[in-house]
Chains A and B, each alone.
Chain A
Amino acid sequence: MKMAASAPSRVEPSSDQENGDNSLQIQQPFFLLHKAAPDKSDRKPSRRRITSSPPSPNKPGAAKSVDDDYSGDHSHEHLRMEAFQHAWSDVEATIEGVLRSIDSGTFEAIYSWISESFSIIRTHVSSGFSEISRSFPAAVESVSRRLFTGLVLTKNMELFDDLRTFEELGRFLRSHGCHVANLSSLDFLAKNGIGGCITSLLRQFLAASVDAPDMLTLSSWYNDQVNNDTPIILIIDDLERCCGSVLSDFILLLSEWVMKIPVVLIIGVATTPDRLRSIIQSEALQCLCPFKFNLGTLAERMDAVVEAILVKQCPGFFISHKVAVFMRNHFANHGGTMSSFIRALKIACVQHFSMEPFSFVLRGLIEEDIQRSKQGLLPKAIYNCASNISPCDRNKMDEEAVQKLVPEIIQLKRLHFLWSIVVLCLYEAGKYDKLHLLDLLCEALDPEVYASRVPGSFTQETRHTKASSPNDCFTHQHNFTMRKGGFISRAMRKVRDLAESHLLSLLKKWERHTADISEIHEKVKELQHMLKFEDCQQLKKDSMEIAKIHGLQSKSNLGRVTKRVNDKAASFLAYLIEKYMQPIECVPFHEIVCFKNVKKLQMALVGDSRRRIQVDLLESHKILSCSCCRNNNILLPSMHDTSIMYSSCQEHGDLVNLHDWYHSFKRILLFPNSKRRHKLKQSPLSKKQKFTDDSEKLSEVAIQSRFCRGVTELQIAGLLRMQSKRRPDFVQRVAFGL
């Protein structure tokens, strides 16, 4: 195994940078395990950050004020957290809305299918059906005993996002009068058998636990219901995790009862419907009458959420290019769920708000966003926030400074708005090439690309001269070098290649996006006119030409004309990019709103708990911070046993001789003197006898028991593996390197 062989060489003490970040790292596993408790986990980083980070160049005064006065920091803290909560609740509401709108179409389709199949079930049950309350099955044909099953394809191997979706679906169907029960794979355990799922069913419907759960109970409950002209819907949210035999039994049971209890099954399938075949027995498969429904794919959801949060909405905070790239990579490589992306965003948000001294200003920004009608509100809001600061701060952050800040922030917002419009236009074009918004966003946020696009020549004057003639933007030759194969250039290329009908709809979408900015809006309209006009002309020409020559020429002609419009649209897009798409990092004062610290986000997201355990074991004194074991390099008997043992086993290869290990442990306990220890280590066995009779301080038994406990702890921590039968005196190291 390559890993095992090469790993020991990489064992090295943690770097300086890690030592510096230790205070955060110690909290780190907790940060992962628990939700970030705002008062604890955020306070410390913020304090640390403020002392270590270089104050932002634009407002040294403000940063300094925080730095100077710690008591002021607390009130800031409070304001920041408030601002964060405010911003985040906005974001959350938006996300919920977006997801709901994505799902609603499928939900409607599912409901209409349910009512359709319910009516089919009811037609099978002829009137005067006397067997309904009896225990024996109805005398019906086998076809009508089939179970209508909706397979909802979630198209994501990770289930986590879809739990919410299925809950929503249940709520939706309940609101339409159906009786709904949500079952999860935990109800289909082999251990509980079929009784488990029936118990859970009855518990949900009857709202009381039944002594001996069976279907007869359910059927009599159903017949007691006032609204027993609606179906019973059972939602099983994860097919893959269910125990196949239990699920098959359940299906067979339901199919026996479907005439008496009109059940419609909805099963969530994470991978492919073919999996049904491998999970459910064939006899049960016979009973199903399945229909497929597709939920929105993860990519679609991501696009919609990113569009709503990072592009359209102004949540009062943005992410920088590097953060965006990191989040994208993390999502693609590990996340796999919407929730993980949102969590990453939330972590970024919380860190930004707690780190950025001016973040409380954002609250004003957001409020202004809500009441956009009142333009004058922003300075007031900022001032209000500023006046909440304790008096000792206020003298430093006076009104004047706030007043200076206000136009800058307004400008920032405006620029961002323009940027978002361009990104949206690009995205609309990119949709035809199946581009994802997050990829586009990453490129659009890249300040380097912007810098390369805007050589020194791109000054105010040139911009003015360029935009001077009204139609210039259509013939605009973009003078920036786009990255080859980049997403933006792909989108542009797509605009050039679009078919006419697509182009028309694309222009319509652009029109909608640009409605707020009249100067761009006009040009989009112009483009549309151009297309329509040439269309008409073409039609006229066509009708004339058709009489003369058929097909070929006119077609090529048509192609040429639309090509012309396509070119114009593309160069217009290039013009937009060049003029308006200014990444947030290139705007002054962006530090207030833009989260840039990738390292922190990475640390918060990628737990790396194994490494943490190893580092902590090797440097236990840093955590314990006791006075007795200060010395960095020497193992002292006052240290924790496990820590001593793990440090001493670093000298071994992947196999550790228990005997040697034990003796070095004993030596450390008995003779803390480092020099002697070093000498002894080279020939531990030869001097063994000497020490065995030397043990007056600690009895041999005590040391042995401590040693055993240490080994067991290391084993539980996953750093060791017990000896095999073949080599009883060796243990195997499992974890190598940091």
Chain B
Amino acid sequence: MLGWFLQKRKMGKDEVPLITRRTTRSSSATAISTKNNVVESTTSTNICSPSPIDLLYGGEPIDLDVLLSNFPGRHPQIRELLQILGPLNAPMLPVFVYGGPSTGKTGILLQLFRHLNRPFVYSSCRTCYSPRILFESVLNQLSYHQKNSTNGYSSVKRCEKPSDFVNFLREALVGIVKSLKENRRKSKSSKKLERSIDGNMVYLIFDKLELVKDWDKSSTILPLLFNLDSMLNIPEVGLIFISSTPPDTFYSSMGYIEPIPLYFPTYNEDDLRQILVRNQANPKLYSSFLDVVLRPFCRITRRLDELSAVFSPLFIEYCKPLNDLAIVPNEDLKRKLFSNLQPHISLFLNETFRVLSQSSLGAERTKDGEPRGSKSKVGTCEDSDELDFHMSTSAKYLLISAFLASRNPATLDASFFDSRGGSADGRKRRRKPSEMAKGQKEAEEQELLSKGPGSFPLERLLAIFQCITSVAEDSLGEEVQEEDSLEVEGQNNPLMSDVLLQLSTLCNANFIVKGGTCPLEGSTRYRSVVSEDLALKVAKSVKFPLAKYVYRR
């Protein structure tokens, strides 16, 4: 690969004289003109017809020092990128930037282009979720096309096929490079140009490339993108890929030249500290806060976005006892604040671990102070034992029977639900064989655990349902008749009537999952995915002795 790279560089060098021959007079002058004309540019860009300036980052270019200070802990990567991008007008090989989420890949690249003041086209494969939209987005940007109501929000060109894309892209790029060069000449001749662009390279950035792997057409799109450089064969085009997965996951012997990999490692603790402290109003206070929290949280995650999401509410908690937020904490105060914060840390630690920290945060916020919603009281006094949503009674029984059908092996149904309502007898009968072949049973149980909830046909579900409803009605019936004679005669099994309707409701609520089979065969299988907690809650709400029927060992 290195050899190829050198060759390419050489080729580039071969071409550079060609280019410079055309633009030799300008190259040094532009660098000066850029700096001079930046200020004037702002007003005229809106009026003037679309030009390659639209492809710049916008705003003032920043110094390298600013860039470096904005991204602490990323200096080697920035320098390497600068090297790969090379000096003005130097052709480059495709770059493959990768690293975990929120390690600064996209941000650094964009700011780098701001610093370099070179035109680029950015498209994220998340926003452009299909090949067509990706193609059209690139082409739109290259032809300075804005979707709006006047053009019916349509793209500049309809482009669905990869081959069309390559053709259109070449056309557009050639046009741009030409205009860049013309611009250069013009800026050389007329000094009053608003704002200039450094170099005549155009860069195409494809972000979130890992998502392309999930597209249905990934097998054609990925080779296309990686081959784009050699297919276009325009030295003024640079390709940059950004992905959160390493390059090995993309190109395995696909026959194209591998781009230069550049790895962004996860931040270490010191980097994180520097980044987090960066934009704080009171860095001293914040760093004392970080002293306390950063280490334990770093053990769980080192993703910047996760950490900052957790730290922002935690810092508010930390500052609560303070009146003056500009205070510089001394040791004593630090200790006090720490003891104040300590109970919260463990709470937040747990939640980062379980990922969803925000929801409970929302609940907490509801609790203290701001009443949200007229019925917020109902929500906050959650009793962990109670079911906090409504289900009809037959749906509850159905859920229980589905749970049982998934948990218990089908062979034991008869012993659980025999004609006598079967709890005690069934148990005895069950226990004997288990003593006889204990090892086998254990193996079976292991298997059951590893398999997860089992699937069952509809008939089994209905049979269990009928059994448990009849049992429940028998046991409840006496009390009911004593307590309230509100029962209506003529309803033998009132729970049985529209079970299938309830079943579809449960399926819709994602409590029961339906296996896809042909309904004509009548062999649709279901699987209950409720947790045991929820099943127990439901059973409790209808006073059904669930524990008696669940198969354990």
A334 touches B379 (CB 8 A): no
- Taking CB atoms, residues of chain A closer than 8 Å to B304 are 142
Q: Would you call A322 an interface residue if the criterion is a C-beta within 8 Å of the partner chain's C-beta atoms?
A: yes
CA distance A276 to B183 in the complex (A): 54
A189-236 interface with B by 8 A CB criterion:
193-195, 198, 202, 206, 208, 210-212, 214-217, 220-221, 224
Report which of B359, B467, B491, B494 forms a contact with A2, defined as CB distance below 8 A: B467
Binds B, one of A155-163, A345-353, A362-370, A614-622: A155-163
B494–A333 CB distance below 8 A: yes
On chain B, the residues within 8 Å of A703 by CB distance are: none
Q: What are the residues of chain B within 8 A of A277 when measuring CB–CB?
A: 354-356
Question: A141 in the interface, Cβ–Cβ < 8 Å?
Answer: yes
Task: Find B494's partner among A211, A274, A329 (CB 8 Å cutoff).
Answer: A329
> In the bound complex, how far is the Cα of B502 from the Cα of A139, in angstroms?
50
Q: Which residue of A lies closest to B422 (CB)?
A: A2
Say whether B263 faces chain A, with CB atoms less than 8 Å apart: no
Binds B, one of A58-66, A404-412, A561-569, A599-607: A599-607
Q: A2 to B463, Cβ gap below 8 A?
A: yes
* Contact of A106 with B373 in the complex, beta carbons under 8 Å: yes
Are B129 and A113 in contact, CB atoms less than 8 angstroms apart? no
* A602 contacts B309, C-beta separation under 8 Å: no
Asked if residues B153 and A210 are in contact (CB atoms below 8 Å), the reply is: yes
Rounded to whole Å, the gap between the CB of B98 and the closest CB of chain A is: 17
CA distance A330 to B261 in the complex (A): 66
Q: A113-B372, A598-B488 are in contact. Are A139 and B378 (CB under 8 A)?
A: no
Interface stretch of the complex, out of B15-23, B28-36, B142-150, B428-436: B142-150
User: Complex formed: what's the CA distance from A442 to B488 in Å?
Assistant: 12
B494 engages A285 (CB within 8 Å): no
- Bitwise interface map of B from 112 to 133 toward A, beta carbon under 8 Å scored 1, else 0: 0000000001111011111011
Q: What is the CB-to-nearest-CB distance from B252 to chain A, in angstroms, rounded to a whole number?
A: 25
Complex interface: chain B residues within 8 A of A210 (CB): 153-154
Complex Cα–Cα for A276 and B306 (A): 18
CB distance from A448 to the nearest CB of B (A): 8
* Contacts known (A292-B379, A329-B488); A286 close to B374, Cβ less than 8 A: no
Total A-B Cβ pairs within 8 A: 276
Q: Is the CB of A220 within 8 A of B148?
A: yes
Interface size class of B (residues with CB under 8 A): 35 or more
Does A298 make an interface contact (CB < 8 A)? yes
Q: Which residues of B contact A546 (CB under 8 A)?
A: none
User: Among the listed B121, B358, B391, B413, which residue makes an inter-chain contact with A336, where contact means beta carbons less than 8 Å apart?
Assistant: B391
Check if A221 sits within 8 Å of B373, measured CB to CB.
Answer: no
The listed residue (B128, B358, B419, B506) touching A289 by CB distance below 8 A is B358
Chain B stretch 522-551: residues in CB contact (< 8 A) with chain A: 522
Contact digits for B376-398, partner A, Cβ 8 Å, 1 yes 0 no: 10110000000011111111000
How far apart are the CA atoms of A32 and B487 in the complex, in Å?
24
Q: Which of B172-180, B362-370, B437-445 contacts A (4 or more CB under 8 A)?
A: B362-370
Binds B, one of A482-490, A516-524, A551-559: A482-490
Identify which of A157, A194, A206, A299 contacts B129 (C-beta below 8 A).
Answer: A194
Instruction: Using A109-B372, A292-B366 as known contacts, say yes or no to A276 and B379 having CB atoms under 8 A apart.
Output: no
Complex contacts, B505 vs chain A, CB 8 Å: 157-158, 336
CB of B158 closer than 8 Å to a CB of A:
yes
Q: Choose among B146, B483, B520 the residue that contacts A485 (Cβ–Cβ < 8 A).
A: B483
Q: A110 vs B375: C-alpha distance in the bound complex, in angstroms?
A: 12
B508 contacts A159, C-beta separation under 8 Å: yes
Contact of B483 among A212, A221, A483 (CB under 8 A): A483
B residues in contact with A256, CB < 8 Å: 124, 126-127
Do the beta carbons of B127 and A270 come within 8 Å of each other?
Answer: no
State the main secondary structure of chain A at its contact with B. Answer: helix
Q: Are A136 and B395 in contact, CB atoms less than 8 angstroms apart?
A: no
Q: A142-B102, A151-B359 are in contact. Are A220 and B153 (CB under 8 A)?
A: yes
Q: Is B517 an interface residue (CB 8 A)?
A: no
A271 touches B392 (CB 8 A): no
Contact check, A253 vs B126: say whether CB atoms are below 8 A apart.
yes
Answer whether A130 and B488 are a contact pair too, CB < 8 Å, given A105-B373, A136-B110, A240-B510: no
Q: Which of A248-295 contact B (CB under 8 A)?
A: 249, 252-253, 256-257, 270-279, 282-283, 285-286, 288-295
Q: Are A135 and B137 in contact (CB under 8 A)?
A: yes
The smallest beta-carbon distance between B470 and chain A, in angstroms, is 9
Q: How far is the CA of A325 from the CA of B403 in the complex (A)?
A: 30
Cβ-defined contact, B146 with A141, below 8 A: no
Are B490 and A217 in contact, with the CB atoms below 8 A? no
Q: How far is the CA of A139 from the CA of B460 in the complex (A)?
A: 57
Q: Are B374 and A106 in contact (CB under 8 A)?
A: yes
B521 at the interface (CB under 8 A from A): yes
Q: Are A195 and B129 in contact (CB under 8 A)?
A: yes
Nearest-neighbor residue (CB-CB) of A213 within chain B? B133
Across the two chains, which residue of chain A brings its CB closest to B522? Answer: A721
B510 touches A333 (CB 8 A): no
Q: How far is the CA of A6 from the CA of B106 in the complex (A)?
A: 69
Q: Does A88 contact B (CB under 8 A)?
A: no
Tell me if A131 is interfacial: C-beta within 8 Å of chain B.
Answer: yes
A549 contacts across to B, CB distance below 8 A = none
Which chain B residue has the least Cβ–Cβ distance from A324? B486
Whether B253 sits at the interface, judged by CB under 8 Å, is no
- Per the bound structure, the CA–CA distance linking A722 and B523 in Å amounts to 10
Verify B388–A155 contact, CB threshold 8 A.
Answer: yes
Hey, which chain B residues are within 8 Å of A224, CB to CB?
148-149
Complex Cα gap A283–B520 (Å): 40
Residues of B within 8 A of A (CB): 58-59, 101-102, 106-107, 110-111, 121-124, 126-130, 132-133, 136-137, 141, 146-149, 152-155, 158, 205, 279, 304-306, 308-309, 312, 354-356, 358-359, 362-363, 365-366, 371-376, 378-379, 388-395, 413, 417-419, 459-460, 462-463, 466-467, 482-488, 490-491, 494-495, 497-498, 501-502, 505-506, 508-510, 520-522
Please report A residues at the B interface, Cβ cutoff 8 Å. Answer: 1-4, 105-106, 109-110, 113, 130-131, 133-137, 139, 141-143, 145-146, 151, 153-159, 193-195, 198, 202, 206, 208, 210-212, 214-217, 220-221, 224, 238, 240-241, 249, 252-253, 256-257, 270-279, 282-283, 285-286, 288-300, 322, 325-326, 328-336, 442-443, 446, 448, 483-486, 598-599, 602, 606-608, 715-716, 718, 721-722, 734
A-B contact pairs, 24 of them (CB 8 A): A2-B463, A3-B463, A4-B459, A135-B121, A135-B137, A153-B388, A155-B388, A159-B508, A211-B154, A216-B137, A220-B148, A241-B508, A253-B126, A270-B509, A277-B355, A277-B356, A279-B510, A296-B375, A297-B375, A298-B390, A334-B495, A602-B491, A721-B522, A734-B522
Starting from the known contacts A1-B413, A109-B373, A135-B121, 12 additional A-B residue pairs (CB-CB under 8 Å) come to: A135-B137, A212-B133, A214-B133, A214-B137, A224-B149, A252-B126, A270-B509, A285-B356, A294-B379, A334-B497, A443-B486, A606-B498
